[in-house]
C-alpha cells in the first residue's frame, strides 16, 4: 500500500527547481503554475535568494509548485493514501483529485499572502523541539504562552508564538529537548493566523472541490476526508489550527501502508517516517535523480495489501 505525502514550509532551498526545469514539459508546467499563482515561480525557484523564498507569500506557492512538478515528472501516479504536512495539504489535495493545479495555486497564493500579512502584525515565529517527553514539552510551551503548532511525532514538536516567548522558552528548554528556530516568518497554525481565514473562506466558495479519489488524510486529526467540500473546509481551518502529523503517520501505519513517497522538496517527512513508521519503505524525491527510485517504490507498493 503506497502513501504519497507532500512537505510543508521550511523545506524550500534556493535554486531547488533548476534541475526540474531540464525535464521535458516542466518549464511549461511551471509557467502555468506561475500564472495561476500570480508569481514568477521560475525566478523564485532558480535565482531568488534564501531571504526572498523565506517570505511566506513566496515560500508557500513555491513548495506546492515543486511538489506538483515532481508528481508530474512521475506521470501523476495514483496512490492508496495521500497526505500533506501544513501547506503540503494543498499539494495532497491535487494528488487526491480534489483540486486542479490551477485552483490549488490560486488558493495557496491567497493563503501565503494572508498569512504573511497576519505575521507582519506581530513578530512571531516557530521553533522545533527535538527530543524530550511530549507531555513535558507541551506543558513547558504552555508556561510561555506558546502553541504546540506541529505535533510531528518521532520526538519532534514545533512550538509557535511571539519571538519574545520563543526566546524565553529556548532559555528554559524542556528537559531532554533541544530547541532549534525554524526558517519561517510567522507563528503558523496558531491564533496569530486567524486574520487570514476570512479571505480564504470567501475564496473557497468560488472553488469546485471534487471528492477524493484516494484516501486523503487530514492534518486536523489524521482521519480520512470523504468529500471535496470537507477537504476544502479543512484546508481553510488548518491555517490557524495545529498540525497533527503524528496522527497522520499513526493512521498510515494502522491502514497497512508499506511504502511512502515524499514529493519535492522531499526529505523532512521521510526522516520522520523512518523513526515513527519502522519497516515502511520510504523515498524522498529531492531532485530528478530520485525519480527512478520513486518509480520502483510505486511499482512495488501501490495497490498492494
pLDDT at 184: 81
**DSSP class per residue in 227-271:** -HHHHHHHHHHGGGS-B-HHHHHHHHHHHT--EEEEPSS-SHHHH
Among all residues, which ones are annotated catalytic? Answer: 86, 189
pLDDT average per 10 residues of sequence, the chain (305 residues): 95 94 97 98 97 94 98 96 98 98 97 95 94 95 97 94 97 95 89 95 95 98 97 96 97 98 96 96 97 97 88
* Grid cell for residue 301: 507498493
Question: What phi, psi does 209 have (nearest 5°)?
Answer: -95, 125
pLDDT at 16: 96
- For the chain, state the CA radius of gyration: 18
CA-to-CA distance for 166 and 171, rounded, in angstroms?
9
Q: How far is C-alpha 303 from the chain's CA centre?
A: 24
CA-to-CA distance for 166 and 143, rounded, in angstroms?
11
Q: Give me the torsion for CA of 9, 230, 98, 217, rounded to 10°.
A: 60
CA-to-CA distance for 38 and 287, rounded, in angstroms?
25
pLDDT at 111: 97
**Cis, bond preceding 103 (omega within 30 deg of 0):** no
* Grid cell for residue 186: 510567522
pLDDT at 154: 86
pLDDT at 18: 96
pLDDT at 185: 80
The DSSP letter of residue 78 is -
Residue with the three cell numbers 523564498: 53
SS3 179: strand
Q: Which domains does the chain have, with CATH numbers?
A: 2-115+192-301 (3.40.366.10), 121-181 (3.30.70.250)
Nearest alpha-carbon partner for 232 in 243, 218, 245: 218
* Grid cell for residue 175: 528537559
Amino acid at each position: 500500500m503506497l502513501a504519497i505525502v507532500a512537505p510543508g514550509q521550511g523545506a524550500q532551498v534556493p535554486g531547488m527547481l533548476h534541475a526540474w526545469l531540464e525535464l521535458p514539459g516542466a518549464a511549461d508546467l511551471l509557467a502555468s503554475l506561475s500564472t495561476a499563482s500570480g508569481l514568477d515561480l521560475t525566478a523564485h525557484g532558480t535565482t531568488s535568494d534564501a531571504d526572498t523564498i523565506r517570505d511566506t507569500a513566496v515560500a508557500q506557492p513555491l513548495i506546492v509548485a515543486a511538489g506538483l512538478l515532481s508528481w508530474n515528472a512521475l506521470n501523476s501516479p495514483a496512490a492508496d493514501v495521500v497526505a500533506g504536512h501544513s501547506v503540503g495539504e494543498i499539494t495532497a489535495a491535487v494528488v487526491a483529485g480534489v483540486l486542479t493545479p490551477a485552483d490549488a495555486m490560486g488558493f495557496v497564493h491567497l493563503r501565503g499572502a494572508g498569512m504573511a500579512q497576519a505575521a507582519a502584525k506581530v513578530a512571531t515565529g516557530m521553533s522545533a523541539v527535538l527530543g524530550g517527553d511530549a507531555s513535558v514539552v507541551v506543558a513547558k510551551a504552555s508556561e510561555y504562552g506558546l502553541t504546540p503548532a506541529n505535533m510531528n511525532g518521532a520526538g519532534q514538536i514545533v512550538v509557535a508564538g511571539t519571538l519574545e516567548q520563543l526566546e524565553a522558552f529556548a532559555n528554559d528548554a524542556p528537559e531532554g529537548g533541544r530547541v532549534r528556530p525554524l526558517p519561517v516568518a510567522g507563528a503558523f497554525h496558531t491564533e496569530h493566523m486567524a486574520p487570514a481565514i476570512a479571505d480564504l473562506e470567501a475564496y473557497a466558495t468560488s472553488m469546485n472541490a471534487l471528492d477524493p479519489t484516494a484516501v486523503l488524510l487530514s492534518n486536523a486529526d489524521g482521519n480520512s476526508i470523504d468529500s471535496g467540500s470537507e477537504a476544502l473546509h479543512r484546508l481553510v481551518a488548518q491555517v490557524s489550527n495545529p498540525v497533527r502529523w503524528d496522527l497522520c503517520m499513526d493512521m498510515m501505519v494502522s491502514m497497512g501502508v508499506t511504502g511512502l513517497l515524499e514529493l519535492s522538496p522531499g526529505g523532512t517527512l521521510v526522516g520522520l517516517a523512518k523513526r515513527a513508521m519502522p519497516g515502511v519503505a520510504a523515498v524522498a524525491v529531492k531532485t530528478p535523480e530520485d525519480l527512478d527510485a520513486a518509480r520502483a517504490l510505486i511499482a512495488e507498493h501501490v495497490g498492494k495489501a
